[in-house]
A = this chain, B = another copy of it.
């Protein structure tokens, strides 16, 4: 690539090639106009239940694409999500996690080639789900005038995340899971602007699910000053917590399903996302779900 390129200006395919070569880990800031995706790959027998789970809980689990042929790691539906024919979902994330019976049994795997074989006719057929992530709406907050840059970006820490009592509506084997939320502090006077700016990003979690100090109790959060995931953030005078649905939620659904899952489940390593060919301009149609692009489906 030309030496003048920055991670921000790389094409989605260029970033995926760097991920395939394991040259990069965290994809934050790469291919700035493209949507990045959380990844979840399940045995085909569970894919219908997981698909229903996403359709019933689109704020926590917004679908950006699905592998269209079970067992085939090269093809994603709808077509505009991933356009390159040499795409391979087993390699094009920087790094992967492996789950068995809902428990993480391996992390930081550079690829899934040893676990998902396309040569062995008796091998498990897997289906991949690409789900929206918060990077897109965070960019919109940074670019607002005046900017509403999330605090954890300024402090270069990981966003605070919390378990809640908010149920993920069940689908098939996926029962008893609750939502995870991410939290960004904002001054009370900024909340309506924050809501307005993130509202169009429904395919990447959209506007907040709740906000204000009362929301801590409503959401059943144990201790706002002690996040369950990520790092603690200090509140300034007049600031309130603002909560968004979080892409860690689908992994909690896998965890809650536990032994009901027969076979392995794969996910991206946190922060090591799959960069899609969707661009910010696609978000308006993606609000209606990927079916809005079905004319483009093969």
Tell me which of B59, B171, B289 contacts A289 (CB under 8 A): B289
The digit string for A196-215, where 1 denotes a CB below 8 A from any CB of B, is 00010010001111100000
Determine how close the nearest CB of chain B comes to the CB of A149; give it in whole angstroms: 23
Given the known A-B contacts A170-B210, A209-B169, are A199 and B295 also in contact in the complex, defined by CB atoms under 8 Å? no
Interface residues of A in 264-298 (CB under 8 A from B): 285, 287-292, 294-295
In the complex formed, the residue of B with least CB distance to A218 is B167
- A169: chain B residues within 8 A (beta carbon): 59, 209, 245
Interface residues of A in 27-76 (CB under 8 A from B): 52, 55-56, 58-59
Flag whether A115 is at the interface (Cβ < 8 A).
no
Report the copy number of this chain in the oligomer: 2
In the complex formed, the residue of B with least CB distance to A290 is B288
Residue total for A at the interface (Cβ-Cβ under 8 A): 30
Q: Is B291 within 8 A of A207, CB to CB?
A: no
Flag whether A230 is at the interface (Cβ < 8 A).
no
**10 closest A-B pairs (Cβ-Cβ)?**
A288-B291, A291-B292, A291-B291, A289-B289, A56-B59, A59-B169, A169-B209, A295-B295, A289-B291, A288-B289
Interface residues of A (CB under 8 A from B): 52, 55-56, 58-59, 166-167, 169-172, 195, 199, 202, 206-210, 218, 245, 285, 287-292, 294-295
Task: Supply 28 A–B pairs (Cβ within 8 Å), ascending by A.
Answer: A52-B199, A52-B207, A52-B287, A55-B287, A56-B58, A56-B202, A56-B206, A58-B58, A166-B166, A166-B167, A167-B218, A169-B209, A170-B207, A170-B209, A171-B207, A172-B195, A172-B199, A172-B207, A288-B289, A288-B294, A289-B289, A289-B291, A289-B292, A291-B291, A291-B292, A291-B294, A292-B294, A294-B295
